[in-house]
Structure 1
Amino acid sequence: MTAGGYLKRLTRRLTEDLEQLDAETISKQSQQTGAQRACDCTAGDEVTMHGELRSVETCSKSMKTGIVAEFFDGTDVVTLKFIGRNRIPGIEPGRTLTVRGRIGEHDGHKIMFNPYYELLGES
């Protein structure tokens, strides 16, 4: 490893947007697992993706009971909707997981209903 290469990486880390660095890290982890990239998936595709939950909300409106989570794999966001659930242990912001299911589209955004999921690591 050369000093020039080290300084270049250090300067990049200090000046680059933290959100961009986070996206690159998550994307690299996703590629290492062999998962599909969310940006390449379209409605109707059955996929396996690896990423991180950015937010988790509980919806308690009469017909729309469930949990809605924002899943990010470093390339795109997919909404995960767990219908009929008020709480799922381990489904919380910052948690890393692998999800499997069929991609849909709602209001121009990617969505996956009741995905199979595997929790990875500790929160």
Structure 2
Amino acid sequence: MADEHDGARHRSRLRASISRWASSDREEARELRKDTRKAGLVTIEDAVDRERVILQGTLKTVSLRPRGGVPALEAELYDGSGSIFVVWLGRRRIAGISPGRGIRVVGRIGVQDGHRVMYNPRYFLRPT
């Protein structure tokens, strides 16, 4: 009986932890969308493919993924509405480009392998 009670208490604590984590993620997403609107920019979700756009958000991941034998720095940009991959071909690293960094990118969105992607965008690091 005590084991059953301890198990229920553990599940309750786990649910509470997950709820706090999800709540903080929702708050982060809300803040990112608010910053995008305040800057007068379109969200990733609303951006039109193949048209020049300016997007901003936070880099979630940054990795080196060669494409066609060429080094490529790939980052996932998240703005609270969605994500897009930004890829700099021929680059192994870029100073300031790291997970958690705020950035603004300018370029055209394409689709490759079912993912939205922007190649070689102009970028501006946002203050930390």
Residue 48 in 1 paired to residue 54 in 2? yes
CA-CA distance at 1:63 after TM superposition: 1.2
1:98 maps to what in 2? 104
RMSD value, Cα = 1.9
1:86 maps to what in 2? 92
- Name the CA distance, whole Å, in 2 between partners of 1:53 and 1:94: 5
TM-score between the two structures when normalised by the length of structure 1: 0.81
Percent sequence identity over aligned pairs: 31
Residue 115 in 1 paired to residue 118 in 2? no
Aligned ranges 1:53-92 → 2 under 5 Å:
53-60=59-66, 63-92=69-98
CA separation of 1:63/1:21 partners in 2, compared to 1, >3 Å: closer, same or farther?
same
1:34 to 22, 37, 40: 40
Deviations 1:54-98 (A, max 9, x none): 010012466141100000111010100000001100000000011
CA-CA distance at 1:17 after TM superposition: 2.0
Residue 23 in 1 paired to residue 29 in 2? yes
Secondary structure at 2:57's aligned position in 1? strand
CA separation of 1:62/1:121 partners in 2, compared to 1, >3 Å: closer, same or farther?
same
2:7 maps to what in 1? none
Query: In the alignment, residue 52 of structure 1 is paired with which amino acid?
Result: T
TM-score between the two structures when normalised by the length of structure 2: 0.78
Structure 1 residue ranges without an equivalent (≥5): 1-13
